[in-house]
Chains A and B, each alone.
Chain A
Amino acid sequence: MKQAPDHMTKETIKQVVLDIISDIAPDEDLSVVKPEVRLRDQLSLDSMDFLDIVMELRKKHGIEVPEADYVQLASLDSCADYLLPKFLAKASK
């Protein structure tokens, strides 16, 4: 499991999510992803892909996203807002 960077910011969280997406959707051009737009509206991602994002957060970073919170992963911005406290809480342990 990867250690969270010492100084997690919303920008580093976005990069963490983009790195995961680059693995699960390798055909997509991620250089043009708009952080405020829903990921599903700009990338070819389905529900199985979002489950992959949840799984990779769990496996690589030890971050749990309960099913009720999946909606929080809609855009890069919402991912950053939702995940930053979780990463910080984990780093402080």
Chain B
Amino acid sequence: MSSKPRIVITGLGLTAPNGNSLPEFRANLLAGKARIAEIEVRHMGKHPAGVCDFDETKWQKRKEIRNGTRVGSISIFCAREALGSSGLDWDKVDKSRVGVYLGITEHGNVETENEIFNISQFGNDTKYWTHHHNPRTVANNPAGEVTMNMGITGPHYTIGAACAAGNAGLIQAAQMLQLGEVDLAFAGGVSESIHTFGIFAGFKNQGALGAHEDPNKASRPFDKNRNGIVISEGGAIYILERLDDALARGAPIIAEIAGWCINSDATDAVLPNPERQAECVQMALKRAGMKPQDIQIVSTHATATALGDIQECTALRAVFAGCPETKVNNTKSFIGHCMGAAGALELAGNIPSFEDNWVHPTINIDELDPECDMPGLVINHPIKVERVNAILNNSFGMLGINSALVVKKYGVA
């Protein structure tokens, strides 16, 4: 990619179940603090879930909140917070040259379920079905809500990529910047999935819904007694720019997007394929001009399913054999699976490592599954390392979509 413009991160806003800013999120990851609630899921009773508590009214009028969607509010909060961290003078930005590219796992389930429930209270008479249904459920909804809130007139759309969506949003933005389609991009991933019972019921009936008497221990990737996914909401939106533009305006450069790959298993709708995952990681490294030993942190996708965790470990062992400096962690153990936001949030949690050289762990491991044992796995306690120059962020999803994103410390060759 040397002939293409270099892409850097110059802003970041997020909401996670355990933090509404990068410093808060990071502090909780280093302190080992999970934050999983127990919520009442329609038709299903109580289940653990990651719930965000950001202030929706910080950036939206109450009418906007009422007419929009939960994921729209998450997106607006993250985008506005990203802008606040970027040093941009928004009034002077050409809004027609700004793009919004948000990864989503799914969209529309929440509103559709709500309306089906609503009309069930009126004898299923569809004259009670809200006229807000279509603008709320079109697939571009969260990105479109951001443009309306911020007056952005450039392109906006979502990238549907199952649980690889957070990486996919960032990759799309980097590509659009390299193509010259936009000069500034808001990109990442978002999710409101805790508000749809269908996701819970689907995972439960698949035998993949996590449970534990202590909700904060329900998400336990790599633990021998893991029993499935904890569903969470959240969002992480980055501002991306071409390096030359960022330097010209004296932007705070958080990190550089070094390389990426998205590929497909083409084997099974739900079972991952470690061979394709390994190929995805290797291609991302190649495009970044790196070797496995150049990566100091691998941020794993592992969701605490029985097979999925083992498959990812198999892929990583194949790529990172003989890389003593490479550490491996997992953020879902703190915040659950934020679905469309997962990849973007998990990367965000690791990015401060470039400055502080700490690697947060994967928590909730009482008994490590021998099949998930990997050199460099950081278990239960953070560790300090000599340097962090490059992070590999894995994010995989159903229908066999794999994504790997390499981000490096800016200014390091």
Interface segment among A22-30, A33-41, A83-91: the answer is A22-30
Q: Which of B63, B66, B67 has the most CB of A within 10 A?
A: B63
Are the C-beta atoms of A48 and B132 separated by less than 8 Å? yes
When C-beta atoms are compared, the residue in chain B nearest to A64 turns out to be B127
Give how many B residues have a beta carbon under 8 Å from the other chain's beta carbons. Answer: 11
A48-B67, A48-B132 known; A58-B127 Cβ under 8 A = yes
- Chain A contact residues, majority secondary structure: helix
In the complex, whether B130 has a CB less than 8 A from a CB of chain A is yes
Contacting residues, chain A, for B131 (C-beta < 8 A)? 48, 51-52, 55
A24-B66, A26-B66, A48-B67 known; A55-B61 Cβ under 8 A = no
Are the C-beta atoms of A26 and B62 separated by less than 8 Å? yes
In the complex, whether B90 has a CB less than 8 A from a CB of chain A is no
B402: shortest Cβ distance to chain A, in Å? 41
A55: shortest Cβ distance to chain B, in Å? 7
When C-beta atoms are compared, the residue in chain A nearest to B121 turns out to be A59
In the complex, whether B117 has a CB less than 8 A from a CB of chain A is no
When C-beta atoms are compared, the residue in chain B nearest to A51 turns out to be B131
Are the C-beta atoms of A27 and B61 separated by less than 8 Å? yes
Task: Scan A49-92; emit 1 where CB is below 8 A from any B CB, else 0.
Answer: 00110010011000000000000000000000000000000000
When C-beta atoms are compared, the residue in chain B nearest to A25 turns out to be B63
Q: How far is the CA of A68 from the CA of B25 in the complex (A)?
A: 54
Contacting residues, chain B, for A51 (C-beta < 8 A)? 131
A55-B130, A58-B127 known; A27-B62 Cβ under 8 A = yes
Q: How far is the CA of A63 from the CA of B122 in the complex (A)?
A: 14
Are the C-beta atoms of A27 and B122 separated by less than 8 Å? no
Contacting residues, chain A, for B130 (C-beta < 8 A)? 55
When C-beta atoms are compared, the residue in chain B nearest to A28 turns out to be B63
Instruction: Knowing that A25-B63, A27-B61, A52-B131 touch, tell me 9 more A-B residue pairs with CB under 8 angstroms.
Output: A23-B66, A24-B63, A24-B66, A26-B62, A27-B63, A44-B63, A48-B131, A51-B131, A55-B131
